[in-house]
Structure formats: C-alpha cells, structure tokens
C-alpha cells in the first residue's frame, strides 16, 4: 500500500514538473520568436489585400455630368483590345478651348492609346480650376465646373462606373495653359491617385497678375481680396504640400503665360521638395500654341513611363 502511494505521488510530481517546464519552454519560445511571429502575421495579412482594380471599360465612351444645372461631357478614349493596358491619363484643355483638342490638334490620343493608355477628356469650358466661386465672380462664368466638382462628382463617377482613377492604378494627369495649372492643382489635391503629372505653359501664382481681367473676373479686385489671391488655388502658396513627380514644359516665346512662372515653380520644388522627381524643359523657340504642345507629347509619355505601379 505504501509503495503504491509513493509511486503515485512520484508520478504526480513528475507530471507537474514536466508540464510546468513545457509551459515555460513554450512561453520562452513565443517570446524569443516574437519578431518572427509578428512578421509571419504581417505576411499572412497581406493575403487579404485586394489586388489592383483594373478599369472596367472596353470601348470609347462619352457621358454627361451636371454642374449648376449645366451638362458637361467627358470623353474616354480606349486603346485597342490587342494592346497591353498601361495606365490612365486625365488630359485637361486650355481656357475656353474644346476638350477634344488634345485629340484633334495633337498626337496625344493616338500615341497614348497606341501605347496602352486610356485617355479621359473632361469638358471644362472657361473654368480656372478654382475650388469655389465667389460673390465677385462674373455671373456668366459660374456655370463652369470647379475643381471641387472634380472631387465630388467626376472622379467618384469614373471610379464607380468604370473603375478608373482609383488609388493604386497607374494614373497620370496632364494639361496645357489653364488646364496645365488645373493638372498641377488636381495632382496637389490627389497625390494618392496620380503617380505623375505633366504641366505645359501654365502659371502657378496669380498674384503676379493683379491687373489681369481674367483673374479679377474670378477672385475680385486684388487690393480688396489679397488673402484670397494669395492662398486660394495658388500653387506657390502650397508648394510644401506638392509631392507628385512632375514634368514641366514652357515655350520661351510664350506671350500669354510667361515662361518664368514655370521656372519659378521648378526652382521652388527643388528648394522645398529636393527629393521629388521633376523635369524642366524650356523650349527657346516655342510659343503658346498647339505645335509646341504637340512637340511635348513624347517627352510627357516617356516621363509617365518612369512611374508605373
């Protein structure tokens, strides 16, 4: 009887010690391998991240969206189905110019679609790509879309209907003249969407033009609304927040928008965003016209090609 009791006691003690040692070893193992354990979890969780969403559009399409009760068309040009998809380009026209001019007067649409890009061409009329209109804005100009319309209407519509301009895709924005400034402003607003921008013949700080009827027509008199002129829609004022790689082009003989505006913006980017990839091209013979803008199509597309997803 005593032997049986002693044997049972020893067996129980051995089991407890072994179980305690095993627990301690397991606890030590977990602590010792914590970095590996965490890393493993991170890798596993990535399996739940959705792959990049591809555009859901097969043919050229035109649609209308309203702004202030007026309808504005957007054209989408799609590459041939045999061409490998390369990305999406939002192309903005100049002030009061047809939104089809990028296709009709330059080789952008042909060359870009041949390379596999989808082109989006929104109709903006006399928009200055301001975020808002003001009581001083000319009444015949408030019918044209604002940059806020891009954020609230156009971009969400393109995302929901066609899976275009979604963060993570290879999206780019370009523009000429007023549309160039618009391209830079939209890139400023959406660094998560656009991988690169191209800006031709634009101005970047309208405080340099306080007597311009064009800007007075939107913002009111400079002397009365200085803060508005300085802070609103002013790329130089927002230079520290500008983080999208950008191609900058201008004609030295431009008599509409002075080329020193582009040089000033480039120099400021080099100062405040020294690690940002930017290219400056000043064409010594070029003017503010379509022959110049057409000459920049290949350089812009090459620049975009450096920033694939």
Among residues of the chain, what percentage have pLDDT more than 90?
A: 80
The pLDDT of residue 53: 75
pLDDT in tens, 233-283: 999 999 999 999 999 999 999 999 999 999 999 999 999 999 999 999 999
Alpha helices in 68-225 (DSSP H): 101-104, 108-114, 147-149, 155-162, 178-189, 213-219
Mean pLDDT, rounded, of the chain: 86
Exposed (0-12), middle (13-18) or buried (19+): which is 76, by Cβ within 10 Å? buried
The pLDDT of residue 52: 64
Q: How far apart are CA 223 and CA 235, in angstroms?
A: 20
- DSSP labels for 85-121? P-EEEEEEPPTTS-TTHHHHTSSHHHHHHHTTEEEEE
Through-space distance between the first and last CA atoms of the chain, rounded to whole angstroms: 79
Q: Is pLDDT at 38 greater than 50 in this prediction?
A: no
- Quote the strand ranges of the chain, DSSP E: 61-67, 70-77, 87-92, 117-122, 171-176, 196-200, 246-251, 278-283
pLDDT in tens, 217-227: 999 999 999 99
Query: What value does the mean pLDDT take over residues 71-75?
Result: 97
Dihedral of CA 17/20/26/28: which sign? negative
Among candidate residues 238, 89, 56, 301, the one with its CA nearest the CA of residue 159: 56
CA 212 to chain centre: 29
Q: Is pLDDT at 309 greater than 80 in this prediction?
A: no
* pTM value surpassing 0.85: no
* pLDDT classification of 42: cutoffs 50, 70, 90: very low
The pLDDT of residue 293: 98
What is the residue whose two structure tokens read 């090609």? 305
Q: How far apart are CA 180 and CA 248, in angstroms?
A: 9
pLDDT in tens, 134-193: 999 999 999 999 999 999 999 999 999 999 999 999 999 999 999 999 999 999 999 999
pLDDT in tens, 96-144: 999 999 999 999 999 999 999 999 999 999 999 999 999 999 999 999 9
């Amino acid at each position: 009887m005593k032997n049986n009791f002693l044997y049972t006691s020893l067996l129980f003690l051995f089991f407890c010690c072994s179980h305690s040692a095993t627990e301690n070893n397991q606890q030590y193992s977990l602590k010792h391998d914590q970095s590996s354990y965490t890393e493993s979890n991170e890798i596993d969780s990535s399996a739940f991240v959705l792959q990049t969403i591809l555009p859901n559009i097969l043919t050229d399409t035109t649609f209308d969206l309203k702004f202030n009760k007026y309808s504005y068309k957007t054209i989408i040009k799609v590459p041939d189905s045999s061409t490998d998809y390369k990305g999406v380009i939002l192309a903005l026209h100049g002030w009061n110019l047809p939104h089809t001019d990028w296709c009709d007067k330059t080789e952008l649409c042909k060359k870009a679609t041949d390379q596999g890009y989808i082109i989006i061409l929104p109709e903006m009329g006399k928009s200055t790509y301001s975020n808002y209109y003001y009581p001083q804005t000319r009444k015949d100009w408030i019918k044209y879309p604002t940059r806020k319309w891009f954020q609230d209407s156009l971009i969400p519509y393109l995302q929901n209907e066609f899976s275009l301009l979604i963060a993570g895709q290879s999206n780019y924005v370009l523009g000429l003249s007023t549309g160039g400034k618009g391209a830079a402003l939209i890139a400023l607003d959406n660094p998560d969407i656009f991988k690169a921008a191209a800006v031709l013949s634009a101005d970047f700080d309208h405080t340099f033009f306080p007597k311009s009827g064009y800007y007075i027509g939107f913002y009111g008199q400079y002397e009365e609304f200085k803060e508005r002129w300085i802070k609103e829609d002013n790329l130089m004022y927002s230079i520290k927040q500008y983080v999208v790689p950008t191609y900058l082009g201008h004609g030295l003989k431009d008599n509409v928008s002075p080329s020193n505006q582009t040089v000033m913006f480039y120099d400021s980017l080099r100062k405040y965003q020294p690690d940002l990839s930017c290219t400056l091209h000043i064409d010594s013979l070029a003017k503010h016209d379509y022959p110049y803008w057409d000459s920049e199509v290949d350089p812009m597309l090459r620049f975009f090609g450096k920033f694939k997803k």
